[in-house]
Amino acid sequence: MHPDDTPGAAAGSAGRVAEWLRAASAVTALTGAGISTDSGIPDFRGPQGVWTKDPQAAALSTIDTYLSDPEVRRRAWRSRRDHPAWAAEPNTGHRALADLERAGRLRAVITQNIDELHQRAGSDPARVIEVHGTMRWAQCLTCGIRTPMPEVLSRVDAGEEDPACLSCGGIQKSATISFGQALDPDVFGAAVHAARECDVFLAIGSSLTVDPAAGLCLEALNHGARLVVINAEPTPYDEVADAVLREPIGEVLPLLVRGAVTPGPP
């Protein structure tokens, strides 16, 4: 926390945040499902979230249930095939972060999302840290082999309800982190490093209720960064944030980036 700032702001000034971004030599962003809702991908815990509307849907993302219940796997494969991300396009929020990177200020995007929309918006894949993996690959839980997801989904379309690994016959799932699975230590280590080595940490579109990803906010604060929360709903980190912005992400993030990379007010 910086001595000239008031923590726990109920709202923040976009102009002030733009000034922080303009002065920063390194910015790290943590993005959650909220940044992709404008692309037509529903979030999980919001008022219209997937798990809010269908609490049983969370079982599809619980590893023990997935492994033990063939019906859960069959439902999961149908859900993967029909996922709105296949038709989604990057939105203004994704493109704003790519613009901030091109301006030389964005160090990394740590994303909880699995849709790869940051890369498709123009972010350097080497700077995108996918702590929860990607839906665009399938992985065998026995031998570890990865297969492009469209290849596996074509088998679902052909009538295989629970397509097994073609290499060893094991159970496959998307190459994502389910509840009950450990994060990849190398990937999360890179996320911690990016949080610790920035001047401004932007937490965008995340409920900040899922650890250890949410704890990256404290990693950034404890190493001297300003924390900016951009989210429609309150989060557990609002009280320690340097600024909290409630405006729609697709509107306020481009505004902040323009203010950061061009002279004058945003």
Q: Which residues are catalytic?
A: 132
Q: Would you say 210 and 236 are in contact if contact means Cβ atoms under 8 Å apart? A: no
153-156 long-range contacts, CB within 8 A, separation 24+:
153/77, 153/80, 153/81, 156/77, 156/78, 156/80, 156/81
Mark 132-146 as b/e (b = at least 16 C-beta within 10 Å): bbbbbbbbbeeeeee
Integer Cα distance of 213 and 203 in angstroms:
10
Q: Would you say 26 and 199 are in contact if contact means Cβ atoms under 8 Å apart? A: yes
Integer Cα distance of 46 and 205 in angstroms:
10
Integer Cα distance of 242 and 221 in angstroms:
9
* 58, two tokens: 């969370």
53-57 long-range contacts, CB within 8 A, separation 24+:
none
